[in-house]
Amino acid sequence: MTVTHDQAAWFTKTFEAMVSNVDKAVLGKEHVIRLALTCMLSEGHLLLEDFPGTGKTQLARALSSTVHGTNSRIQFTPDLLPSDVTGVTIYDPNSKKFEFHQGPIFATIVLADEINRASPKTQSALLEVMEEAKVTVDGVRHEVGDPFMVIATQNPIEQAGTYRLPEAQLDRFLMKTTLGYPDHDATVRVLRDAKTRDRTKALEPVVTSQVILDMAELADEVHVDDAILDYVSRLAEETRRHVSVRLGLSVRGCLAFVRCAKTWAIGQGRTHVIPDDIKLLAQPVLNHRLLVTAEAQFAGITVNQVIDQILGEVAPPTERVA
Q: What would the pLDDT profile of 260-301 be if each residue is shown by its tens digit? A: 999 999 999 999 999 999 999 999 999 999 999 999 889 989
Q: What single DSSP character describes residue 200?
A: G
Q: What is the mean pLDDT of residues 149-161?
A: 77
Q: Where in the chain is the domain with CATH 3.40.50.300?
A: 1-193
Q: What single DSSP character describes residue 223?
A: B
Q: Where in the chain is the domain with CATH 1.10.8.80?
A: 222-315
Among the four given CATH numbers 3.10.450.750, 2.40.50.100, 3.40.50.10260, 1.10.8.80, the one describing domain 222-315: 1.10.8.80
Q: Using the predicted structure, report yes or no on whether residue 251 has a pLDDT greater than 80.
A: yes
Q: Cα-flanking dihedrals φ and ψ of residue 315, to 5°?
A: -75, 130
Q: Which helix (H) or strand (E) holds 232?
A: helix 226-241
Q: What is the mean pLDDT of residues 224-239?
A: 95
Q: What is the mean pLDDT of residues 183-191?
A: 82
Q: Using the predicted structure, report yes or no on whether residue 156 has a pLDDT greater than 80.
A: no
Report the candidate in 51, 86, 60 with the shortest Cα–Cα distance to residue 150: 60
pLDDT at 157: 63
Kindly compute the dihedral angle of the four CA atoms of residues 143, 63, 194, 180, in this order, to the nearest 10 degrees. 110
pLDDT at 319: 56
pLDDT at 298: 92
Confidence of residue 242 (pLDDT cuts 50, 70, 90): very high
Is 236 in contact with 253 (CB distance < 8 Å)? yes
**What are the start-end ranges of the H helices in 25-163?**
30-41, 56-66, 82-86, 120-132
Cα distances (angstroms) measured from residue 306 to each of 190, 286, 291, 311 = 35, 10, 10, 9
Q: What would the pLDDT profile of 45-100 be if each residue is shown by its tens digit? A: 999 887 777 778 788 888 888 988 788 889 988 889 989 999 988 888 888 888 88
Instruction: State the distance between the two ends of the chain, measured CA to CA, in whole angstroms.
Output: 15
Domain 1-193: assigned CATH number:
3.40.50.300
Q: What would the pLDDT profile of 96-113 be if each residue is shown by its tens digit? A: 888 888 999 998 888 888
pLDDT at 276: 95
Neighbours of 195 (CB within 10 A): 5
pLDDT at 160: 66
- Neighbouring-strand partners of residue 46: 151, 175
pTM for the model stands at: 0.89
Q: Residue 257: CB partners within 8 Å, gap ≥ 6?
A: 232, 235, 249, 278, 281, 282, 285, 286
Q: What single DSSP character describes residue 199?
A: G
